[in-house]
Every structure is written in structure tokens, then in C-alpha cells.
């Protein structure tokens, strides 16, 4: 008898999004472990729970350093480092601006210029003091606020894959609300390659603009069609420019990053979104083992050098 390779999908909602874990052998206890881990992460990092570690840090801004768990310290340290490296685009201190605009959370009007200016003064990464020995985080000015929305899911995806590996799993897919990370070879294809669909910005769910044929990687997308509001014909979306305080204006609709670390992919998807296709490709082409796919307003697709165009809509990772 020919052995049939089966897939086991587990799905639940978390952080207001859908989490799907795909395994190739049944392992319910492991799924429960991942679920419990993500519940714990939600408790650490939620902006909606006043007692989360993140909110304790934000509440103590301008007052005192806060001692946090090693997980929390590690993620915040990565986020602050990225904010220093990419000051003009990625900034984890964006919290006060996100709160002001309320995009995707009921906000429907453009804030005043003076309100925006006041918030911009609270976003300097140099005003954060991290103490690795004491594991403390201190936002030194009152009103400063961390918002890990552009990086946390990537970090969790990396950690979940690590946990699956430690449990002996050799092939798996973790999908945290569209943030995908894959482990090992695909047991269902002769080449071991995987096919990851990239959703078109304006198409209905389930109609990918293209399909990426790839070994185990992470694929992370930043786009402007998930959360926004309109005033007349002008669209205000949820990726904010830390220099102007307004939603970033670029002739691009979305960027997907393909690489190994999902944390890095999250950071670079935001950075590349700001740069647009031309400068973004130059930036990504300089980084080893990172590729990007840009989709513009006219649904035109551009990729970095490592993604070779095979045929309409199908790209292969070399």
C-alpha cells in the first residue's frame, strides 16, 4: 500500500486575527502548547489590556523603568534597534500617533497639525533606556508609547517555529494572520518546495496575485488595504510616516518580504513600503538572503533579483 501523506490544520483566533498551524502528523498536545504560548504573548503585549507588560511600560513613561520578562525585553530591544537603524520609516515609538489617528479603530478624521507635532516629539528612540542586566525598559518622557504592531507577529512566528522544531517537528506552516513562516521541506511535493500565494491588494480573499514557489522561508506583507479611512477621495491608511506624522504617501500598494527571520521580514516590509519599488529593491538587493515583491497602484509586480520570473504570476526563489 502506498503511504498517503496527510495534512493537519488547526485554526483559532488570536490578537484579533486568524492563526493557522499546519502539521503533517497529528499532534494535538503540541497545538495546545502553541495556543497557550500565544495566549501568554497576548497577555504580555496587548495594547487593550491595562495589565500587559507593554501597557505597564507605557503607563510608566516619564516616571520609572519597568522590569519585564526576558521575552518582552528581547522583542523590545529588537524593535528599538530597528527603529534606530531605519529612523525615517520604522519606528516602534509610533504609539502616540497611532492613538491620535485611530485608523482602523473608529478614527474618521484628520488630526490637527499641532496635535501631530506634539506626538512627533515623543518618538525619539534615543529617549528609551534599556538595561539588559536588570531587564528594564524606560520610556523617559511622559506620553511616549511603544506599539509593537509592525513587528510582534513576526517575532511570534519565529518563536512558534522554534517550539515546533524543539518538539521534533520537521515540516510545518505557521500562519499568523497572513504572516507565514514555513519549516522544512514540503512532504507533499517531489521537490520539497512550497507554494505561497500572495494576496492581490484589491482582489477578494483567495485570489492571489501571484504564487511564490519557494523552499522553507517566511513571507510577510505590509499593505494599505486592510485598515484605512477616506475623506472625500483621499485615503488615510494605517502605516504612518514617523517624520511627517501622516500616513506614508508612496506609489505602492503592498510589499512582501521573503527571508528566513520573520522578525526581520516584518521590519523590512515596513521599511521597503516607505521606499517604494525602486529604492526598496536597491535596499533589499544589498541584503543577503532577502527578497521582495512590490505591487503598485496598477497591480504591476516588481521583484528583487533573486526571484526569477518563470511565467505570469509564478515566481521561483533561487
Q: Contact positions toward Mg ion, by CB under 5 A?
A: 150, 222, 266, 269-270
Near ligand ADP by CB under 6 A: residue from 44, 46, 138, 147: 147
Q: How many residues line the site for ligand ADP (CB under 6 A)?
A: 17
Binds 219: which of ligand ADP, Mg ion, none (CB < 5-8 Å by kind): none
What is the C-alpha radius of gyration for the chain, rounded to an integer number of angstroms? Answer: 20
172, 24 contact by CB (below 8 A):
yes
Told to check if 91 binds ligand ADP by CB under 6 A, we report yes
Q: Which is nearer to ligand ADP, 170 or 260 (CB)?
A: 260
User: CA 298, 301, 303 angle in degrees (round to 5)?
Assistant: 150
Told to check if 158 binds ligand ADP by CB under 6 A, we report no
Q: Which is nearer to Mg ion, 158 or 266 (CB)?
A: 266
Q: Which is nearer to ligand ADP, 24 or 236 (CB)?
A: 236
Told to check if 240 binds ligand ADP by CB under 6 A, we report yes
Query: According to CB under 6 A, which residues from 96 to 125 bind ligand ADP?
Result: 98
What the block records as the C-alpha cell of 165 is 522544531
Q: Which is nearer to ligand ADP, 172 or 255 (CB)?
A: 255
Distance CA 245, CA 96 (A): 10
Told to check if 149 binds ligand ADP by CB under 6 A, we report yes
Q: Which residues bind ligand ADP (CB under 6 A)?
A: 89-92, 94, 98, 147, 149-150, 222, 226, 238-240, 242, 266, 270
Amino acid at each position: 500500500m502506498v503511504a498517503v501523506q496527510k495534512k493537519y490544520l488547526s485554526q483559532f483566533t488570536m490578537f484579533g486575527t486568524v492563526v493557522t498551524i499546519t502539521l503533517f502528523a497529528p499532534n494535538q498536545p503540541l497545538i495546545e502548547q502553541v495556543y497557550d504560548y500565544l495566549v501568554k504573548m497576548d497577555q504580555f503585549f496587548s495594547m487593550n489590556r491595562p495589565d500587559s507588560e507593554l501597557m505597564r511600560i507605557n503607563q510608566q513613561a516619564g516616571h520609572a523603568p519597568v522590569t519585564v520578562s526576558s521575552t518582552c525585553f528581547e522583542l523590545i530591544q529588537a524593535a528599538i534597534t530597528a527603529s534606530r537603524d531605519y529612523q525615517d520609516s520604522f519606528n516602534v515609538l509610533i504609539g502616540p500617533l497611532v492613538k491620535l489617528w485611530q485608523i482602523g479603530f473608529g478614527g474618521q478624521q484628520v488630526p490637527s497639525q499641532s496635535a501631530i507635532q506634539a506626538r512627533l516629539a515623543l518618538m525619539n528612540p534615543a529617549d528609551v533606556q534599556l538595561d539588559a542586566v536588570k531587564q528594564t525598559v524606560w520610556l523617559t518622557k511622559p506620553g511616549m508609547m511603544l506599539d509593537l504592531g509592525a513587528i510582534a507577529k513576526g517575532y511570534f512566528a519565529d518563536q512558534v517555529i522554534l517550539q515546533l522544531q524543539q518538539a521534533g517537528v520537521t515540516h510545518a506552516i505557521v500562519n499568523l494572520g497572513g504572516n507565514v513562516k514555513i519549516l522544512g521541506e514540503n512532504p507533499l511535493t517531489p521537490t520539497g518546495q512550497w507554494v505561497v500565494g500572495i494576496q492581490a491588494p484589491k482582489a477578494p480573499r483567495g485570489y492571489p496575485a501571484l504564487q511564490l514557489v519557494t523552499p522553507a522561508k517566511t513571507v510577510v506583507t505590509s499593505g494599505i488595504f486592510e485598515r484605512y479611512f477616506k475623506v472625500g477621495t483621499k485615503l488615510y491608511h494605517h502605516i504612518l510616516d514617523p517624520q511627517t506624522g501622516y500616513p506614508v504617501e508612496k506609489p505602492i500598494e503592498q510589499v512582501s518580504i521573503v527571508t528566513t527571520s520573520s522578525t526581520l521580514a516584518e521590519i523590512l516590509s515596513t521599511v521597503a513600503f516607505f521606499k517604494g519599488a525602486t529604492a526598496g529593491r536597491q535596499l533589499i538587493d544589498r541584503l543577503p538572503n532577502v527578497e521582495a515583491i512590490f505591487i503598485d497602484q496598477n497591480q504591476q509586480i516588481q521583484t528583487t533579483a533573486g526571484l526569477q520570473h518563470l511565467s505570469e504570476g509564478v515566481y521561483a526563489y533561487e
